[in-house]
Chains A and B, each alone.
Chain A
Amino acid sequence: GQQVMQIPQYQHVQEGEDFTTYCNSSTTLSNIQWYKQRPGGHPVFLIQLVKSGEVKKQKRLTFQFGEAKKNSSLHITATQTTDVGTYFCALSSNTGKLIFGQGTTLQVKP
């Protein structure tokens, strides 16, 4: 079935450094969603991308959907300690179910 691969699995950065996580699929995606899960918390929706080549920004976060709609990325500029957590991408399968990647866990050293 459909699945997405996320890399890297872990990332440790110094506060102020940038961070990027990538989500890749072998099949064309109709859309992709991004979620953030804080330690001890539950996944919280960040954004949904639908169009080929789409770029959306939320303050220091930039989300991209690849031209071929097979990959996506989340970039955080100048990380802060509040960015700590695990970032998941998720795709909607052709049956409507929401499938999550394995996530990238971000640690930020102050």
Chain B
Amino acid sequence: GAGVSQSPRYKVTKRGQDVALRCDPISGHVSLYWYRQALGQGPEFLTYFNYEAQQDKSGLPNDRFSAERPEGSISTLTIQRTEQRDSAMYRCASSRQGITEAFFGQGTRLTVV
């Protein structure tokens, strides 16, 4: 695609439900990053992939959070048993191999009620 696509753009869910956030990176981009961004703060690193391999998941807050990228393209960030504190903007970014610019998607605004 032309850019990084994230879906849904907005998600409201009840506390305790599971949610899956999808990221479709720019075609051919090797690296894919997941971030969480609170209002007025910088993007907080969650995890990243090179191809289908999860290289670093040190930013995932706890074991309710997981991510996968099974075919090295589309990625899914899953949050199980959501809590109100999980409410945030979740952003995905992709980049070519190596240390190059990251292209961000529009994000998914998650609200847990």
Contact = CB atoms under 8 A, between A and B. Distances in A.
A96 B91 contact: no
A43 B104 contact: yes
Interface residues of B, number: 27
Interface stretch (A53-61, A62-70, A100-108): A100-108
B48 to A, nearest CB: 5
Interface string B32-58: 010100001111110010100001101
Contacts of A97: 33, 45, 48, 55-56, 58-59
B102 interface: yes
A3 to B, nearest CB: 10
Contacts of A99: 45
The 7 A-B pairs with the shortest beta carbon distances in the complex, nearest first, are A45-B101, A100-B42, A42-B104, A100-B43, A102-B42, A92-B99, A103-B42
Interface of A: 1, 6, 30-31, 33, 42-45, 48, 88, 90, 92, 95-103, 105
Interface of B: 31, 33, 35, 40-45, 48, 50, 55-56, 58-59, 91, 93, 95, 99-107
